[in-house]
Amino acid sequence: MPRVSTDQLAARRRQILDGARSCFADHGYEGATVRRLEQYTGLSRGAIFHYFRDKEALFLALAEQDATRMADVVAEQGLVQVMRDLLDSARTPGSGPDGDAGDRSWLGTRLEVSRRLRTDPEFRARWQAHSGALTAATRARLERQAAAGALRDDVPVPVLAQYLELVLEGLVSHLAMGLPAGDLDAVLDVVENGVRATSHTR
Amino acid sequence: MPRVSTDQLAARRRQILDGARSCFADHGYEGATVRRLEQYTGLSRGAIFHYFRDKEALFLALAEQDATRMADVVAEQGLVQVMRDLLDSARTPGSGPDGDAGDRSWLGTRLEVSRRLRTDPEFRARWQAHSGALTAATRARLERQAAAGALRDDVPVPVLAQYLELVLEGLVSHLAMGLPAGDLDAVLDVVENGVRATSHTR
């Protein structure tokens, strides 16, 4: 009998992640039971937990997937573009990467785990490790921009990076709660200009 | 028999709110059962729900209490000062207004209701009504600053107000998740200077 190829393993892993993302979006973290995860992924619990140790590991893998995707956009276009993309996808429900209910519901799931993050230091450490790709990409891009003279030079790069990440957290929270997008494009313009060299006196 | 005075009614209402805040902070929204609310307030369910229709009304009253307190600070010192105060209270656990576990746990409770906000438009409308005092105070202060020439004049005041509120949402989310305060003071300096007239070219 032929062994399962690496491609097949990766495809199976992707199938689980896609199904789990929709399941979390539709039912939240607590509501994503093993039975529902089976339904959404089309796989048995045995298969699912062969790839992921437990529901927490599945959730963190999705957070890591997000961070990696966002880090790709950051490297090319910056963190503000990530925010603009989030804003767009919140405006067009159903446009989620997997054709599911959109990013908004998934963002809500992320907020739901806030209690866990707050009360469980180990979980928080794992969460931070999984979202580290985004922080690294943001800093790297800002460093490149600073070297090119495109960045304001009166504030250290790590502070600017944390500033952008804080705005991203605000946007995630805002959209996840279903609050109106309103003037947020103009707000993001303020944020973007706020880190650039040209909009500030020397 | 003497009738209960208005002062006594207000004191009783405050007693319920103080107890409920600690209960939500310790047990989260779902975990704040009627039995626990009785324990934390020292009152019977009959007394509690004489003052507040249900747990949701109690939660929203606490949100309104926050918004009103913050609005007072905003009127005097601006929304960035509200953020600095949040940062301080997150750094000193146990310094919550009621000597409870601090603001952080309560902020976490707010994030926990994100799912409810997302999926229940009526609840969202009530939430927004209860937090409206903060938005109104923020706009009013910015209008005063604009009239005094202290504000950048290249961005409309409503956009600046939404910008500050978005950063506040990010800070609430960040602190509620127990993430490190890090360089956030310096980040708030960037935010504060970003709305002022002096830090921008004309």
- Asked if B153 is an interface residue toward chain A (Cβ–Cβ < 8 A), one would say no
Return the bridge partners of A151, or none: A196
Query: What distance separates the 2 farthest-apart alpha carbons in chain A?
Result: 70
The segment with the largest mean pLDDT, out of A27-31, A153-157, B115-119, is: A153-157
Of residues B185, B88, B179, the one with CA closest to residue A158: B185
pLDDT at A17: 96
pLDDT tens column, B27-67: 888 889 999 999 999 999 999 999 999 999 999 999 889 88
Residue B70 C-alpha, separation from nearest chain A C-alpha, in angstroms = 18
pLDDT tens column, A150-163: 999 999 999 999 99
Residue A172 C-alpha, separation from nearest chain B C-alpha, in angstroms = 8
Residue B94: pLDDT band (50, 70, 90) is low
Say if the Cβ atoms of B111 and A115 lie within 8 Å.
yes
pLDDT at B189: 96
The segment with the largest mean pLDDT, out of A195-199, B129-133, B138-142, B194-198, is: B138-142
Q: What whole-number distance in Å separates Cα of residue A123 and Cα of residue A110?
A: 13
Tell whether the model's pLDDT for residue A75 goes beyond 60: yes
Cross-chain CB nearest to B194 (options A119, A169, A190): A190
- Asked if B51 is an interface residue toward chain A (Cβ–Cβ < 8 A), one would say no
pLDDT at B186: 96
Q: Name the CA dihedral angle for A129, A133, A136, A139, rounded to a multiple of 10 degrees.
A: -120
Say if the Cβ atoms of A128 and B167 lie within 8 Å.
no
Other CB atoms within a 10 A radius of the CB of residue B165 amount to 20
Say if the Cβ atoms of A178 and B105 lie within 8 Å.
no
Using an 8 Å Cβ cutoff, are A160 and B190 in contact?
yes
- Asked if B99 is an interface residue toward chain A (Cβ–Cβ < 8 A), one would say no
Residues counted in chain A: 202
pLDDT at B2: 60
Residues 122-151 of B with CB under 8 A from A: 124, 128
Per-residue CA distances from A142 to A84, A152, A157, A166, B200 (Å): 18, 10, 6, 15, 20
Q: What whole-number distance in Å separates Cα of residue A83 and Cα of residue A93?
A: 16
Cross-chain CB nearest to A162 (options B155, B187, B194): B187
Q: Given phi > 0 = left and psi -120 to 50 = alpha, else beta, which region is B78?
A: left
- Nearest C-alpha in B relative to A105: B118
- Averaged confidence pLDDT in chain A: 87
Tell whether the model's pLDDT for residue B199 goes beyond 50: no
Residue A33: pLDDT band (50, 70, 90) is very high
Q: What whole-number distance in Å separates Cα of residue A153 and Cα of residue B65?
A: 41
Return the bridge partners of A196, or none: A151
Q: What whole-number distance in Å separates Cα of residue A79 and Cα of residue A84?
A: 9
Residues 60-89 of A with CB under 8 A from B: none
pTM: 0.87
Report ipTM (2 d.p.). Answer: 0.86
Q: Return the structure tokens found at A76.
A: 């090319």
Using an 8 Å Cβ cutoff, are B153 and B146 in contact?
yes
Residue B200: pLDDT band (50, 70, 90) is very low
A and B: number of Cβ contacts within 8 A: 138
- Asked if A184 is an interface residue toward chain B (Cβ–Cβ < 8 A), one would say yes
- Averaged confidence pLDDT in chain B: 87
pLDDT tens column, A91-146: 876 544 444 445 677 888 888 777 778 778 888 888 888 888 899 999 999 999 99
Residue A71 C-alpha, separation from nearest chain B C-alpha, in angstroms = 19
